[in-house]
Amino acid sequence: MYSYSCLKALFEPKAIAVIGISADPQDKASIITANLLASGYKGKIFPVNGEGAEVHGLGAFSSVSQLPRGIDLALICLPPDEAIQAIDDLSEILVRAAVVTSGGFGETGREGYRLERELARTAKNHDMIILGPNCMGLMNTALGMNASLDPDFTLKGNIAFLSQSGAMCSTALDWANSEGVGFSKFISLGNKAVLGEATMLNYLANDEDTKVIVGYCETLKDGQDFLRTAYDTTFKKPLILLRAGETPSGARAASAHAGHLTGATTAYNAAFNQTGVMQAVDIEDMFNLAHAFSCQPLPSGSNVAIITNSGGPGILATDMAEKGTLNISRPSSSTLEKMKEVLPRYASLYNPIDMLGDANADTYHKVLRAVAEDDVFHSILIILTPAANILEDVEKAAADIIELEKECDKPIITCFMGDHSTRKARRMLRAAGIPCYEFPEAAVRSLDAMTRCYRWQKKDWPIDVCFRRDYSKAKSIVENCRKTGLTELVELDAQQLASAYELPVPETVLARTSNQAAKAAKRIGYPVALKVASPQISRKQELGLVITDIQTPQALRKAFLEITTRATRRCKDAYITGCLVQAMGPKDSHEIVVTFKRDPQFGPLINFSLAGLHVDLLGDVSSRLAPLALNDAQEMIREIKAYPILRGVRSGTAVNLGALEDVLLMVSQMASDLPEIQEAEFDPVIAGPDGAVVANMRMTVS
């Protein structure tokens, strides 16, 4: 993370140098200078061009070295090589922040990527921060500063917008200007050589001008940093992100576009869920959510009232609400009484409140007032279709809503359907800070997201659990494995490692002969399981090299022979150490699978599911990024669809959920402690009413 003074230099510079102005008035540096001037930037501007000639009426300098001290921010529009040199030169006069708009870096391939890394290194050496390269710049409306290539300066507002894609920046500006929506900060991140989302969130979370943060991303820089910062941010203000590159083809395109590797979509989804990010479903949704969050309060619960003058749209809104997380609750009896006085006999009072086509502005007003005063409801959706009775009255209805909204502490979202007849009213409502959509579905999506956001912010703070563990023992096991050149731990070592993290493992003895096996089994107590022991054999179960539930010494000897013979035959090059004799897990149990895998972007992703072919095919898996807090582990277990099985549905066995939570937390700790472990599978974890045992495991090291 970067020092706050650097970020302050970037967002609130007192003096700006613009570097790279040529004779061409259409060059980027010239445009950016013009935009700075046009936006009314009050600080000093120092253009640098080769000749030192005047630029937009400003005295110019012929080189960076001639610039005075006291410059906070440099806007650099130079080819890669020169841009890197400029960073070097700027450090001499103690500039702390730069925006590099120029392309020719990572987006162009290998050589460009080398230059981008050099740019980042140079900046780091001088303790400077850089926005970009290959970006459009930034705007800060509080300062009246348009330090970007886009001449459309935005209105002042409370939305901070950040985007990796320049086109999405232009689209957002265009949308905002046409809707009368404003921004607090507007940031084009470009290639993110130095500054990524995490640092920006760090700044924006504490920016008093910003109420809601909205962003578009294809990749995220510094996944682990992002997790921490996003988490801290979302408890303070809503964070809405649209991510592109979810599907394999999309990810390929994103990678070609940005020149970065993207993480797995499961990891992204886990990251967003875990940190309270509201994920937009598409561009339109992103804008709709931005507007709704910026101008309406969050609802303090899930109960929504839907008021409509037409059945169809009311039903569609009800469907959409119920598919999400909203409740269509019944109004209180006093509200019912109030409504009965104004509504016709055939009206539906029980939510969706269908006032029928007879409703006029007065009906809307009275019903809305009754609903607004009803404690049952936490949010209100008003639908108006241009029926004959309201046609003359549409703007009056809008004006009434605007008046009533001022004293209402619940969020109100509206949907005025139709084109000409309702256009003016829509504009009135939006201008008054009441979102108004043309179709009901979008309105419900906004309310649903706001409700989820409220619930997130009310969530208990996570409980971090730390287990006693023998880190040095674990580390030495991993090191020993790496020394022998193996990429996978042999099972006994893996067991030792698991034990170092207090993971419950069954008693296991290595037997080199069937006699040794019988002796071990006697000590452990029948029934036992027998598995091949060989550093070269990993998928024992699939190769038929595991026999479970052995009841007698005779059966054990037979099993020993069977396994070793089969192993010699099936794995010709493997060294067969013997067999492992293992205590069986508890009876009346369920088989669980816990795994983790390191995501390139976010680190270890931990997965939880039941064992079995069905589960694999149906994908009933919950995932979280490490480190897990207690509530994460609890949620992981409860959010799989098969969870009732663990609760003992239909007279099955109920397992000890606490024991499973412990397993998840221990695995999380192991994954965070030991970056050398690339992947691990605990399959199966045998869970019963009294506890859980990890009956089998695999770990690969790098």
Structure tokens at 678: 């690339």
Instruction: Count other Cβ atoms within 10 Å, centred on residue 146.
Output: 26
Looking at residue 514, the DSSP 8-state letter turns out to be H
Taking the C-alpha atoms of residue 142 and residue 149, their distance in angstroms, rounded to an integer, is 18
In DSSP terms, 188 is beta-bridged to 137, 163
Site for its own copies in 397-426 (CB under 8 A): 417-421
Assess 645 for contact with its own copies (CB under 8 A): yes
Contacting residue, 154, 318, 534, 668, with its own copies by CB under 8 A: 318
Pick out residues in 124-143 that bind its own copies (CB under 8 A): none
| CA-derived radius of gyration, the chain | 32
Let me know: does 224 contact 626? Beta carbons within 8 Å: no
Q: Is 385 in the site for its own copies (CB under 8 A)?
A: yes
Q: Which of 310, 514, 582, 589 binds its own copies (CB under 8 A)?
A: 310
Q: Which stretch binds its own copies (CB under 8 A): 70-78, 348-356, 564-572, 668-676?
A: 348-356
Q: What is d(CA 666, CA 212) in angstroms, rounded to the nearest whole number?
A: 36
| Binders of its own copies in range 598-617 (CB under 8 A) | 610, 612-615, 617
Give the Cα separation of 444 and 328 in Å (integer): 12
Beta carbons within 8 Å of 89's beta carbon, 6+ residues apart: 63, 64, 65
Q: Which stretch, 33-41, 115-123, 649-657, 682-690, contacts its own copies (CB under 8 A)?
A: 649-657
Residue 328 or 376: the one with the smaller Cβ distance to its own copies is 328
Instruction: Name which of 319 and 470 has its Cβ closer to its own copies.
Output: 319
Pick the binder of its own copies from 25, 59, 68, 109 (CB under 8 A). Answer: 109
- Binding test (CB under 8 A) with its own copies, winner from 618, 638, 675, 690: 618
Residues 201-230 that bind its own copies (CB under 8 A): 216, 218
- Selected from 57, 110, 249, 573, the binder of its own copies by CB under 8 A is 249
Question: Is residue 357 involved in binding its own copies (CB under 8 A)?
Answer: yes
Out of 24, 341, 409, 542, the only residue in the binding site for its own copies (CB under 8 A) is 542
Pairing assessment for the beta strands 697-701 and 691-694 based on DSSP bridges: unpaired
**Residue nearer to its own copies on the CB measure, 166 or 299:** 166
> Residues 87, 120, 278, 321: which binds its own copies (CB under 8 A)?
321
CA-wise closest residue to 118 among 142, 100, 136: 100
Q: How would you label 344-360 residue by residue, b for 16+ Cβ within 10 Å and e otherwise?
A: eeebebebbbbbbeebb
Exactly one of 142, 642, 654, 657 binds its own copies (CB under 8 A); that residue is 642
- Single out the residue of 184, 276, 262 nearest to residue 228, CA to CA: 276
Q: Which residues of 249-261 are buried (b: 16+ CB within 10 A; e: fewer)?
A: eebeebeeebbbe
**300 is an interface residue for its own copies by CB under 8 A:** no
328 scored as a contact of its own copies (CB under 8 A): yes
Among 14, 126, 228, 257, binds its own copies (CB under 8 A): 257
When asked if residue 331 is in the footprint of its own copies (CB under 8 A), the reply is: no
CA atoms lying within 13 Å on the CB side of residue 519: 8
- Which one of residues 13, 133, 196, 314 is an interface residue with its own copies (CB under 8 A)? 314
Q: Is 644 in the site for its own copies (CB under 8 A)?
A: yes
Which stretch in 67-75, 104-112, 507-515, 666-674 sits in contact with its own copies by CB under 8 A? 104-112
Using CB under 8 A as the binding rule, the residues of this chain from 161 to 180 that contact its own copies are 163-168, 170-171, 174-175, 177-178
Residue among 389 and 499 whose Cβ is closer to its own copies:
389
CA distances from 361 to 60, 215, 349, 366, 421 (A): 62, 38, 18, 9, 14
Q: Which residues contact 150 (CB under 8 A, 6 or more apart)?
A: 35, 136, 137, 169, 170, 173
Query: Among 117, 641, 675, 702, which residue sits at the site for its own copies (rule: CB under 8 A)?
Result: 641
Q: Considering Cα of 389, then 392, then 393, then 398, what sign does the dihedral take? A: positive
* Binding residues for its own copies restricted to 473-532, rule: CB under 8 A: none
How many residues interact with its own copies (rule CB under 8 A)?
Answer: 87
Is residue 531 classed as helix, strand or coil in its secondary structure? strand
Nearer to its own copies (CB atom), residue 169 or residue 408: 169
Decide if residue 569 touches its own copies (CB under 8 A).
Answer: no
The yes or no reply on residue 392 touching its own copies (CB under 8 A) is: no
CB of 191 to its own copies, least distance (A): 12
168 vs 453 by CB, closer to its own copies: 168
Inter-residue contact 511 to 578 (CB < 8 Å): yes
